[in-house]
Amino acid sequence: MLLCRPKMKECCTFRRASPTVFRLYGTIPKCSIRFPSSIPRNTREVFVGTTQHLASTGPQTTAQFLIATVRTLISLTETKMRKVIHELLPAESDLEGLGHEMHALVAELYPICRSITGNGVRETLGRLQRFIPLTVHEVPSGTRVFDWTVPLEWNIRDAYIKNSRGERVIDFQKSNLHVVSYSTPLHKKMRLEELRSHLFSLPDNPDWVPYRTSYYKRDWGFCLTHKQLLDLSEDEYEVCIESSLESGHLTYGEFYVRGESSEEILISAHVCHPSLANDNLSGIAVACFLAKRISQLRRKYSYRFLFAPGTIGAITWLSINESTAHQIKHGLVLAGVGDAGSLTYKKSRRGNTDIDRAATLAICETESKSQTLDFTPYGYDERQYCSPGFNLAVGRLSRTPHGTFPEYHTSADNVSFVRPDSLGESLSVCLHVVSILEQNRTYLNTNPKCEPQLGERNLYQSLGGGSDNKATELAMLWVLNLSDGKQSLLEIAERSHLRFEVIVRAANALKEHGLLEEVSAQSLPRSTERQFAN
Ligand SMILES: [Zn+2]
| Model confidence band, residue 484 (pLDDT cutoffs 50, 70, 90) | very high
How many A from CA of 436 to the centre of ligand 1? 29
How many A from CA of 219 to the centre of ligand 1? 19
How many A from CA of 280 to the centre of ligand 1? 7
How many A from CA of 281 to the centre of ligand 1? 10
How many A from CA of 19 to the centre of ligand 1? 34
Q: Is 298 strand, coil or helix?
A: coil
Which helix (H) or strand (E) segment holds residue 239: the answer is: strand 236-246
DSSP 410: B
How many A from CA of 475 to the centre of ligand 1? 43
pLDDT score, position 48: 23
pLDDT score, position 220: 98
- Per-residue pLDDT of 502-534, as tens digits, reads 899 899 989 999 999 999 755 544 333 333 222
Question: What distance separates the 2 farthest-apart alpha carbons in the chain?
Answer: 93
How many A from CA of 85 to the centre of ligand 1? 33
pLDDT score, position 472: 72
Transcribe 426-464 into DSSP letters.
HHHHHHHHHHHHHH--EEEES--SS---TGGGTS-S-S-
How many A from CA of 271 to the centre of ligand 1? 10
| Model confidence band, residue 378 (pLDDT cutoffs 50, 70, 90) | very high
How many A from CA of 226 to the centre of ligand 1? 21
- Per-residue pLDDT of 3-34, as tens digits, reads 343 332 333 222 222 222 222 212 222 222 22
How many A from CA of 215 to the centre of ligand 1? 13
How many A from CA of 279 to the centre of ligand 1? 5
- Per-residue pLDDT of 67-89, as tens digits, reads 333 333 333 333 444 445 555 67
How many A from CA of 212 to the centre of ligand 1? 10
Cα–Cα distance, 135 to 113 (Å, whole number):
21
How many A from CA of 370 to the centre of ligand 1? 22
- Per-residue pLDDT of 300-336, as tens digits, reads 999 999 999 999 999 999 999 999 999 999 999 999 9
Cα–Cα distance, 11 to 347 (Å, whole number):
12
If you average pLDDT over every residue of the chain, what do you get?
A: 83
Cα–Cα distance, 453 to 415 (Å, whole number):
59
pLDDT score, position 186: 98
Task: Calculate what percentage of the chain has a pLDDT beyond 70.
Answer: 79
How many A from CA of 115 to the centre of ligand 1? 11
- Per-residue pLDDT of 427-463, as tens digits, reads 999 999 999 999 999 999 999 999 998 888 878 653 3
Cα–Cα distance, 322 to 411 (Å, whole number):
37
pLDDT score, position 367: 76
How many A from CA of 348 to the centre of ligand 1? 20
How many A from CA of 34 to the centre of ligand 1? 34
Least confident of 57-71, 195-209, 350-364: 57-71
How many A from CA of 222 to the centre of ligand 1? 18
Neighbours of ion ligand 1 (CB under 5 A): 279
How many A from CA of 433 to the centre of ligand 1? 24
How many A from CA of 330 to the centre of ligand 1? 24
Nearest Cα residue to 267 out of 91, 440, 128: 128
